[in-house]
Amino acid sequence: MGVAEDDPGVLFVCLGNICRSPTAEGVFRALAERAGIAERIRIDSAGTGDWHVGRPPDPRAIAAARNRGIELGHLRGRQVTAADFARFDWILAMDRYNLRTLRAMQPSSFRGHLGLLLDFAPELGVSEVPDPYAGDASDFDHVLDLIERASAALLTHLRVNPVPR
């Protein structure tokens, strides 16, 4: 049994789709699988830029996630398209820059939720997932810490409110 078109969809978005957003996709998918509801949620990731289309996530993101039992190596970068606003109910950016880019793309017909992932975990005290690309392994671990907390809260939210209101 696969995901149906009317099942809720979640799209995670960062700049290049090789660090933060594929990490969020992998973490959220793993949590949904553990909860037994992955087959009822469409989960994907994309970048606002096109530099890494078709490429796997950054090797440091893959290694950090693998250390926590999450596999990202099969994912491939893609760019956000206008069609994503029809396919996904929840479009969650990793930072304000990408959120602004998404808002500029957003069609007037979009009735879903467009916001920041970390809005689901206000107790963290930060609103943006920092870009670890220019950093080291500890930066990728920090990104995972933030994404894991926010993804758990998002999953709890979706169990109650699968479609944005």
Find how far residue 91's CA is from the centre of its chain.
Answer: 8
Per DSSP, 113 falls in state E
User: What is the 3-class SS of 140-163, one letter each residue?
Assistant: HHHHHHHHHHHHHHHHHHHHHCCC
Per DSSP, 44 falls in state E
Q: What is the pLDDT of residue 163?
A: 84
Q: What is the pLDDT of residue 73?
A: 97
Domain boundaries, the chain: 9-160
pTM of the model: 0.96
Total residues found in the chain within this entry: 165
The first and second tokens of residue 109, run together, are 């017909």
Please list the pLDDT of the chain residue by residue as tens digits (165 residues). Answer: 566 667 889 999 999 999 999 999 999 999 999 999 999 999 999 999 999 999 999 999 999 999 999 999 999 999 999 999 999 999 999 999 999 999 999 999 999 999 999 999 999 999 999 999 999 999 999 999 999 999 999 999 999 888 887
Q: What is the pLDDT of residue 162?
A: 86
Euclidean distance between CA atoms 83 and 101, whole angstroms: 15
Euclidean distance between CA atoms 37 and 59, whole angstroms: 28
Candidate CATH numbers 3.40.50.2000, 3.40.50.300, 3.40.50.2300, 3.10.290.10; the one for domain 9-160:
3.40.50.2300
Q: Which residues are catalytic?
A: 14, 20, 131
Per DSSP, 37 falls in state -
